[in-house]
Structure 1
């Protein structure tokens, strides 16, 4: 499920809230303006009646000049009948209108009597609607023009206020798995500062736990060296002084002790590998690879020019040694190549390894073949060094250019985990 965007939700929520409030405000303004217009028109009708009725109740009622637009019309009921204004429509006036204000059809009426005469003043409701429409248009059009500006302002303000969140996320994403230093994102708001502080506390506890684990592994492996070496010396003396079945048993004990000694050495290397980091000076790894390959009787194919990688020289030597040892132990025709861009390729000829086994080879004590071959830690050590040095270890089977074999490829930078390669690669 795709994670929701806080920035988008805030922008949409504030924008929708502003729009709803604007609509409610416009509706409220329309009701208020309509009520005020009704009061103005009704007051005009009442004032007109107060002034016109005494004038018409006199002995003579002169004719009034016609107007271009009739906002008010009237009907005068007297002893001699009904008289209408020149621009009045008799159909708009009821025969017996009630006193005061009333509404009939599309007309608003105000009726007042004086000295036996009744004056009925009518005002078209259409005029009021047109006036309301004009006022609301004058209010809405500028508001409509400002609404997009307000929405853009909300988006800008939201993005600006959420920059500390993006900065904190970028700092966390930029950390390598082994980098447990405290986060130092500055200018965090009060709501995010506790999150950063709790993450720092968690990473400090995790670093302490990992340090204790690494120290235990290193100390245990180191302390095992002396008793293993002493026991091995006694077994070798026993082997030289014996013959027959006892000598055979001594030789088996010697082989197992040597295997335990190698395992202790691998545990020391694993503890060292977990301390590897990308915060290291550049080192020319070409001569290191030549020396390590020569220890196994191999010639490394390396460029003549220096190949510099940001990795500790000892850590690279441990990585290369374990990859080469793994290839020599589990196959034949081992080749070692270092490209100018820092890509290390170590391949051997062996039976094809199934993808389900290939994916687990970097686990500790995982073996693809016989349980007695190797310690099961070589690829785990190489993977730990590569990961902590911001590099990428890929395992392929079959090897490149063949239908069988095994190949380990170390890239000089991290890649997107889960991106398949053309050789059934497994990203570590």
Structure 2
């Protein structure tokens, strides 16, 4: 799946790129206009120069002793001429020329008006009834250089304006999307079980209907989940009393029945009722895990809770549990004590039920509130391991059980923003099964 890109990044880059392209287009347009105006100004300068020089040249030629003799006009000091000229008669004979003029660049036969060669722009004017002509030449490179300098003057400010525009656009977009970013953070900060409406002020008009739709969806989902949890909890609670009464009657019937098929059938019914009672208890635990309220208002010390639950199991399960406490005298967590007890009971019950009977179950808690429950037994295949936290999934189908223990544990772990990992074989062993739960504390360690 292609990763999504930031709207702020797309808007910032897109607006800056669009503005830059518009600036470049405007610069090119301005440069074309400037180039046209420069050509008009240079052509006007050629025409004005010809009209100023021609009368003086005619007067100078008329006052000579030999008018047909070519004459170089001397310069006051040596310099590079951008404008060079020739004064010729109607037959093309040179009568006068500027000091740096090259006759080869001019037309062979003078003619009035503008003309252009590969390297020069020419203008010719006449006097004395087209008997005397003057032609002025200007290098086209001179005009190109002026056009390049004008273009450079237009482009140089863009080098500073582009980063300024990028920064300004980025800040403007960031400020404009501030409420959207606040909405995103509010959604990200939600816990797994938090379905309350998301309140963020001053959302854009394009986003506000989406936020309202999300709140309506959350409300519908919350009501549906509450209905489901209420039904599960109420059903499990209402079943406890008739199940207990029925179980008592079956136990009495089994004791009163004579040896034979009737007593065996009563024992099977009693076993089935006990499984149904345990399932009812599991459903009540699952309803509590999904119902929220898994975090305590004040931090709770986990060590006495852990020791109490393990002691209960050791008294009822034959002292198969080995408890390893941290070096610290107390380990505080924000998890609710009842939720922690449910989590621990399900993990221990799972380890006792599916672990090897001749190996102890190791329960440990570290200083960083890492809870580990390890039992013996053959390694669990990876495909099965990945599905063990799903509801009604059991690793060993030959052992009776509801398949809800690890699902309840996972629901509690998600509800308190903790993390759980299943490992098989257990750490440092070739067999066994291990559950690591990182409870909500500031620091964690790895298995």
Normalised by the size of structure 2, how large is the TM-score? 0.84
Matched, 1:311 2:320: no
Between the two proteins, the alignment pairs up a number of residues equal to 417
Q: Shift of the alpha carbon at 1:252?
A: 1.2
1:329 Cα deviation after fit? 1.9
SS in 2 for 1:71: coil
- Any residues of structure 2 matched to 1:31-46 within 5 Å, and which? 31-46=32-47
Q: Deviation of residue 57 (structure 1)? A: 4.0
Greater mean deviation of Cα atoms: 72-81 or 200-209: 72-81
Aligned pairs (5 A) from 1:45-194: 45-58=46-59, 60=62, 65-66=74-75, 68-78=79-89, 81-87=93-99, 88-116=101-129, 117-194=132-209
Contact 2:126 2:133 (C-alpha < 8 Å) held by counterparts: yes
1:225 alignment partner, one of 240, 258, 278? 240
Question: Where do 1:246-325 residues align within 5 Å?
Answer: 246-277=262-293, 279-281=295-297, 282-297=299-314, 298=319, 300-303=323-326, 305-325=329-349
Contiguous gaps of at least 5 residues in structure 2 = 65-70
CA-CA distance at 1:242 after TM superposition: 1.5
Structure 2 CA distance for partners of 1:129 and 1:397, relative to 1, 3 Å: closer
Output the CA distance in 2 between the equivalents of 1:354 and 1:245: 41
Post-superposition Cα deviations, 1:206-235, rounded to whole Å, max 9, x if no partner, equal 212111111111111112222222322332
Asked if the contact 1:326–1:374 (Cα under 8 Å) also holds between the matched residues in 2, the reply is: no
Cα 1:61–1:328 change in 2 (3 A) is: farther
Could you tell me whether the CA contact under 8 Å between 1:55 and 1:61 is conserved in 2?
Answer: no
For the 8 Å contact 2:296–2:336, the answer to whether it is kept is yes
* CA apart distance, 1:249: 1.0
Structure 1 distance, partners of 2:340, 2:178, is 39
- Does the CA contact (< 8 Å) of 1:180 and 1:207 recur in 2? yes
* Maintained 8 Å contact 1:276/1:389: no
Q: 1:71 to 1:344 in 2, by over 3 A?
A: closer
Tell me what 2:422 maps to.
395
After superposition, the C-alpha distances for 1:42-82 in whole angstroms (9 at most, x for unaligned) are 11222233333344444835786526343333333337943
Take 1:265 and 1:48, find their aligned partners in 2: how far apart are those partners?
110
Aligned-partner SS, 2:136: strand
Q: Secondary structure at 1:296's aligned position in 2?
A: helix
In the alignment, the residues of structure 1 paired with residue 372 and residue 240 of structure 2 have an alpha-carbon distance, to the nearest angstrom, of 32
Q: How has the CA–CA distance of structure 1 residues 200 and 257 changed in structure 2, closer, same or farther, with 3 Å as cutoff?
A: same
The aligned residue for residue 350 of structure 2 is 326
| Aligned residue in 1 for 2:401 | 374
Q: Is the 8 A contact 1:218 1:271 kept in 2?
A: yes
| Secondary structure class of the residue paired with 2:296 | coil
Q: What CA distance in whole angstroms lies between the structure 1 residues aligned with 2:428 and 2:149?
A: 82
For 1:373 and 1:141, the matched residues in 2 are separated by 81
Instruction: Give, in whole Å, the separation in 1 of the partners of 2:301 and 2:97.
Output: 109
CA distance in 1, matches of 2:277, 2:6: 54
1:372 positional shift? 4.9
1:23–1:391 Cα change, 3 Å: same
For residues 400-425 of structure 1, the C-alpha deviation after alignment (integer angstroms, 9 at most, x for no partner) is 3332222222211499xxxxx77xxx
* Displacement of 1:334: 1.8
Structure 2 CA distance, aligned partners of 1:414 and 1:289? 16
Does the 8 Å contact 1:276/1:312 carry over to 2? no
1:370–1:147 Cα change, 3 Å? closer
SS in 1 for 2:152: helix
Contact 2:335-2:440 within 8 A present in 1 as well: no
Moved more, 406-415 or 204-213: 406-415
Kept after mapping to 2: 8 A contact 1:178/1:277? no
- The equivalent of 1:342 in structure 2 is 369
For the Cα contact (< 8 Å) 1:76–1:119, is it kept in 2? yes
Deviations 1:15-44 (CA, angstroms, capped at 9, x unpaired):
333333333333223222221111111112
Change (3 A) 1:107 1:340: closer
Q: Is contact 2:110–2:133 with CA below 8 Å preserved after alignment? A: no
After superposition, the CA RMSD in angstroms is: 2.8
Query: Which residue in the other structure is 1:212 paired with?
Result: 227
2:365 and 2:395 map into 1 onto residues whose CA distance is: 25
Give unmatched runs, 5+ long, in structure 1.
416-420, 423-428
